[in-house]
Copies of this chain bind each other. A is one copy, B any other.
């Protein structure tokens, strides 16, 4: 394939997904390669928020819980999102944050194993998992251990570094396996089907964090027979900064045990104002308290666009564009010490590409200064998110030209690019 700009432009023009680019309001002069961290603003989301605020809140006031459907919103959006996850109706709810939803899933899973297989006290996760996934497991284990009398039979979080290590670690002590489908740093993707089967074969329950997968790669939770899944809506689903997250729970776990974040929204009859907790027997059991309606309402617009484009088309483009990005970087930026850490195998790749470089921070700062917005993750990783909903082959091409320029001129060595922000 000829990688000149004109050829790529022609391919872009012929691509049905190009029609979606106009559905996003991106700033002039920016090539946005950070949709894996915060998705772009879809056209219509600001208008939807204005409607929620001015009409539903301002005019409808408290009545809007009924008349504007606020009360049903977490489940209605959950069912819409579930279409991208291989979920059945009633298995998904949009609520809270990914961290909190993971806590619910882990606690529910440990509670279930406690009843079915009380000797299982190990949560296995990946050392390179997104940190909050590790911390939440450690926080839950710490609570359980601290509140018990016994010593020496603690719950524990075991960190594995590879698939081989994982398959060896799964045994009769494993309560839960909790993994991110797509790795936040490297973009590496686990095989959901075979890993879930391996967990089940070992008698463990399986939790998937889909933060970097939902809206980016096809997911089929029921086909994989997973137990729980969580994820966010503000990356590939373009829901807006900090938009509420989601939790999916296989129907077999809906009615068994309480999840401990037992707020009134998880009650069988929240408005009966009963004095004892009685959880709903369905996915509502995994809700907790009142949700931020304005932020949540905007999730729908992003979801609708993803559903309209279709995950198969998005995945096909994502693989082509990530291939293109890798090839262009490797041919045009050779000799500058960039090391690809994203798998070349399509079956193992999510929708972002990462390179390691000793001066990754400064190079990324210089790139952002030139309108190519990716991000940096410790240690030494430059991340580039590929989001075909609002990116073209030409964008990918242009971004690499600017990267080449930054590396070739050494402009990244300027003092100003060494200043670290609070959030990087």
Contact = CB atoms under 8 A, between A and B. Distances in A.
Contact of A378 (B107, B138, B271): B271
Nearest to A30: B61
Contacts of A26: 58, 61
Interface string A1-44: 00000000000000000000000011100101010011011000
A46 interface: yes
Given A41-B53, A264-B99, A296 B242 contact: yes
A169 interface: no
Q: How big is the A interface, by class?
A: 35 or more
Given A70-B241, A295-B295, A271 B423 contact: yes
Contact of A100 (B53, B98, B100, B127): B100
B294 A263 contact: no
B138 A276 contact: yes
A136 B32 contact: no
* Copies of this subunit: 2
A236 to B, nearest CB: 14
Contacts of A264: 99, 130-132, 135
A262 interface: yes
A316 to B, nearest CB: 25
A417 interface: no
Interface string A47-59: 0011011101111
B147 A114 contact: yes
Given A71-B422, A111-B146, A377-B273, A139 B262 contact: yes
A63 interface: yes
A232 B264 CA distance: 15
Interface string A210-238: 00000000000000000000001010000
Contact of A293 (B241, B267, B421): B241
Chain B CB within 10 Å, residue with most, of A65, A143, A373: A143
Contact of A289 (B99, B147, B150): B99
A144 interface: yes
Given A114-B147, A140-B260, A272 B378 contact: yes
Contacts of A232: 290
A375 interface: yes
30 contacts: A25-B54, A32-B61, A63-B368, A66-B421, A70-B242, A97-B289, A97-B291, A98-B290, A100-B261, A107-B143, A131-B274, A132-B263, A134-B276, A135-B262, A136-B262, A138-B277, A139-B260, A143-B258, A144-B144, A144-B147, A146-B257, A147-B147, A148-B148, A148-B149, A149-B149, A242-B293, A242-B296, A245-B289, A272-B378, A292-B294
A-B complex: 9 closest residue pairs judged by Cβ atoms: A139-B262, A97-B289, A99-B263, A292-B295, A99-B289, A41-B58, A132-B264, A241-B293, A143-B260
